[in-house]
Amino acid sequence: MDEAFQIEAQALAQVLDELDYFQVLKIGQNASPPEIKAAYYRESRAYHPDRFSTLPQSELKEMIGRIYKRINEAYVCLREDVKRAKYLADILGPERQKKLRFVEASEQEMKKEKEQEVGATPQGRKFYMAGLADMAAQRFAAAERNFKMALTYEPNNPNFKAKRDEAGKLIKNDMSIR
Amino acid sequence: MAEPGDIAIGIDLGTSYSCVSILENGQTSVIPNEWGERTHASVVSFLEDGTVLVGNSAKRNIITNADNTVYSAKRLIGRFYFSDEVKKAQAVMPYKIIEGENNSVRIQIRENVYSLPEISALVLKEMKSIVENYLGHEVKKAVVTVPAYFNDNQRQATKDAGRIAGLEVLRILNEPTAAALAYGFGKDITQKIAVYDLGGGTFDISILEIGKDVFEVLSTAGDTYLGGDDFDDRIMTWLAEGFLKQHGIDLRLNKYCLQMLKEASERAKIDVGRDGVAKIHVEGICQDPTGKVMDLDAQLTEAEFNRMVMDLVQRTFKVCDEALQSAKMTAQDLDAVILVGGPTRLPIIRTSVKHYFGKDVMAGIDPDEVVAMGAAIQAHSLMEAKGDGAASGAHYLLDVTPLTLRVGTVGGYTDKIIDKNTPIPIERSKSYTTNRDGQEKVKIRVYQGESNKASDCEMLGEFEFSGFRIGYRGEVRIEVTFEIDTNGIVNVTAADVETGQKTSCTIRLSSGLTEDMIKAATEKNARTTLARGEAAA
């Protein structure tokens, strides 16, 4: 392996956790999609683990593996316009250092979405689940009561509200049939 | 460092047939066995004298030595005993499928019990020995292909099979990726292609962007329960029901008749594809209640056959839709379509594929051999790579993980960790805190699949971490790192966030083999003598 590359890889591995994805792929923050892809190919040619397959396991090989995984991580984020825009806003913001790796941030968002779905508080979740069970059994009035209870714990949960309204409508339909 | 003569082989380990190839002097060649056969039935027949027959001559034993002849092992490899696929196999396979420890699957042959990797290892041993006979020296390294849609359990089990056969598995390579490599290797083209791979037991579709030296998989999708075997099954049902109507005897009730029926169906499928009509004649398939020997006679036309299998063909296109969608493409964006796998010789497949993609399929690619050839190219390149400046002729496979990696959460749900179609190798970490005072262990269940319900996903295993600090609840944070390596195999490690101390991990539940089991199996495999059959009639 040539020495210049070894030095480069070592230097890169050392600062890897301080780089944003644009820096990992060595591109500007306004790079176009074809430029992102070209950069990904260029870095793959340099750091793809297959290039080093016959070398014995070593610290350097591990470093290269770590770098390449980060290159893939960067590409996955930047190749998608929506993710990329969010990521760019993240790293330009005050919490740049914490948001260099998109996965952590998206994890938080996913969690939030999920909480909105089934509830962020144990009591809210409990009444929400009870409401769902009532809906399944077509006990719409009971369902509405449970969703209303759930809302007292999480007044701003949009999913709870939607379910309460849905139950309310079904009660009316139910009445009209009778 | 590579010694002279040190070579790595490419093995396409198929559900029905396997094929082996090497790259020599810049050319890939499929290595035939001593009878000139280029593909070999993935059938293992255990003979009375303790030797083992593998390949096309073993296939003839499915009827005569039914209890001791194992075929379609790939359908069972890496599966749990409770899975539907195993139940289905138990109903139709003449060999004995039993439960091993940890919900694993075992095959019982006489008084011996084999794991699935051990069975596949015998097929690999035969492939290895075919090349060794050809080269005149030992071969120790290989690239082995798997369906792109194989999950971690299936990949791990296939890798174990390689080790048991005495091979260092340099890479578990996806079959469609291998085919794309064989197609684009040394061609200097820039194209977007689809690889439509319908094998004996599995279906894969991969969308790739290939360039001079980079092969990027944009998406992959598949169905590991759909293959040529299912086409045979349709013919079988048709034959059996016809016979039942005519003679009042259900041939499917007897495992011996069932095998004759299966063989006839496979032949009929090939005949109808080649000649447009198949004349089916099986002499002495059964006896009637009075003891009179009966023959099976039928004629299958192409139109009839096409009607029988149309829904199976349509199912493949649902999967194609999914792959195109993941790649954010439509069929019009593609430059070429490559067909892989024996069943793609069928006119119904060729015309349907042409219709779906709106373009002719690539000619001049052997659907039975192209995967092994791609594996040989990759094997060669992995032997050459020394980390020098980009060598001329070097190429890079940028492959993806086919399934979303998940962890189990409360109430039978799962959280996404790594999305499907993410380039590999990749890693992602997730922090966990203890939820009890003095907690000593953290348990994590890992799944692969596309549903947020755990029960709809495939479980990979349960990992138990210990050895971190003991503290009040919520005080101790451990960071669990999920890694998918270049083989598509999942590794899970954990560390105490504060101290950086790596914790120890026990895999509590897994269909895999332990190191000791692999060691014992390797010795057993090495002691096993491969019987030599005879050339096909």
Tell me the H-state helices in B54-170. 56-59, 61-64, 84-92, 116-135, 152-164
Task: Report the pLDDT averaged over residues B427-456.
Answer: 88
pLDDT at B386: 75
List chain A pLDDT tens, one digit each, 178 residues.
688 889 999 999 999 999 999 999 999 999 999 999 999 999 999 999 999 988 888 888 999 999 999 999 999 999 998 889 889 988 998 888 888 888 655 656 656 666 667 787 888 888 998 998 898 888 899 999 999 999 998 888 888 888 899 888 888 776 655 4
Say yes or no: A90 and A16 in one domain. yes
Say yes or no: A126 and A109 in one domain. no
Q: Which of A76, A94, A113 is the last residue of a domain?
A: A113
Each residue of B401-432: b (16+ CB within 10 Å) or e?
A: bbbbbbbbeeeebbebbbbbbbbbbbbbbbeb
A121 burial level (CB within 10 Å; 0-12, 13-18, 19+) = middle
Contacts of B426 in chain A (CB under 8 A): 69, 72-73, 76
Report whether pLDDT(B1) > 50: no
Q: Do A54 and B390 touch (CB under 8 A)?
A: no
pLDDT class of B537 with cuts at 50, 70, 90: very low
| Main-chain dihedrals φ then ψ at residue A171, nearest 5 degrees | -60, -45
Say yes or no: A109 and A123 in one domain. no
Say yes or no: A35 and A84 in one domain. yes
Contact B317, B278 (CB under 8 A): no
Helix A33-47 with A59-78: angle, nearest 10 deg: 170
Nearest CB partner across the interface for B425, out of A49, A75, A114? A49
Q: With pLDDT > 70 as the criterion, what percentage of chain B qualifies? A: 96
pLDDT at A120: 79
Q: Do A69 and B425 touch (CB under 8 A)?
A: yes
β-pair partners for B47: none
Which domains does chain B carry?
A: 8-186+365-396+519-531 (3.30.420.40), 228-307 (3.90.640.10), 405-500 (2.60.34.10)
Report whether pLDDT(B394) > 90: no
Quick: pLDDT tens for B208-261.
999 989 999 999 999 988 999 999 999 999 999 999 999 999 998 888 888 899
Quick: pLDDT tens for B297-345.
999 999 999 999 999 999 999 999 999 999 999 999 999 999 999 999 9
Interface test with A, best of B143, B209, B427 (most A CBs within 10 A): B427
Say yes or no: A10 and A89 in one domain. yes
Identify the H or E element spanning B45: strand B44-46
Contact B40, B17 (CB under 8 A): yes
Say yes or no: A99 and A12 in one domain. yes
The amino acid present at B488, given as its one-letter code, is G
Contact B337, B365 (CB under 8 A): no
From residue B243, how far is each of A109, B230, B248, B256 by CA, in Å?
Answer: 61, 20, 7, 16
Q: Which of A78, A96, A113 is the last residue of a domain?
A: A113
Nearest CB partner across the interface for A44, out of B386, B398, B415? B398
Say yes or no: A91 and A151 in one domain. no
Query: What is d(CA B312, CA B308) in angstroms, rounded to the nearest whole number?
Result: 9
Q: With pLDDT > 90 as the criterion, what percentage of chain B qualifies? A: 73
Say yes or no: A107 and A134 in one domain. no
* CATH number of the domain within which A103 lies: 1.10.287.110
Say yes or no: A92 and A130 in one domain. no
Q: Which residues contact B35 (CB under 8 A, 6 or more apart)?
A: B534, B535, B536
pLDDT at A174: 64
β-pair partners for B58: none
Domain with A123 in it: 119-177
Q: How would you list the strands of the sheet with B490-496, edge to edge?
A: B426-433, B477-484, B490-496
Q: Do A49 and B387 touch (CB under 8 A)?
A: no
Please give the structure tokens belonging to residue B39.
């593909």
| Three-state DSSP class for residue B365 | coil
Annotated active-site positions of B, please?
12, 74, 175, 197
Q: How would you list the strands of the sheet with B336-340, edge to edge?
A: B336-340, B191-198, B203-210, B214-223, B396-398
The amino acid present at B143, given as its one-letter code, is V
Name the interface residues of B facing A (CB cutoff 8 Å): 1-2, 170, 211, 213-214, 216, 381-390, 394, 396-398, 415-416, 419, 422-430, 483, 486
Say yes or no: A56 and A102 in one domain. yes
The two most distant CA atoms of chain B are separated, in Å, by 81
pLDDT at B535: 60
The two most distant CA atoms of chain A are separated, in Å, by 85
Say yes or no: A100 and A170 in one domain. no
Q: Do A54 and B423 touch (CB under 8 A)?
A: no
Tell me the H-state helices in B136-217. 152-164, 175-184
Strand B490-496 to B40-41 pairing: unpaired
pLDDT at B2: 45
pTM: 0.87
| Three-state DSSP class for residue B461 | strand
Q: How many domains, chain A? A: 2
Of B230, B165, B195, residue with least CA distance to B20: B165
Say yes or no: A54 and A138 in one domain. no
Query: What is d(CA B149, CA B535) in angstroms, rounded to the nearest whole number?
Result: 35
Tell me the H-state helices in B276-423. 302-326, 347-357, 370-384
The residue written with tokens 């469609």 in the block is B176
Q: Do B425 and A68 touch (CB under 8 A)?
A: yes
Give the CA count within 13 Å in the CB-facing half-sphere of B458: 23
Query: What is d(CA B422, CA A72) in angstroms, rounded to the nearest whole number?
Result: 8
Q: Which of A73, A94, A113 is the last residue of a domain?
A: A113
Please give the structure tokens belonging to residue B512.
């895999």
ipTM of the complex, rounded to two decimals = 0.90
Interface test with A, best of B426, B428, B482, B484 (most A CBs within 10 A): B426
Contact B358, B215 (CB under 8 A): no
Enter the DSSP assignment of B341: S
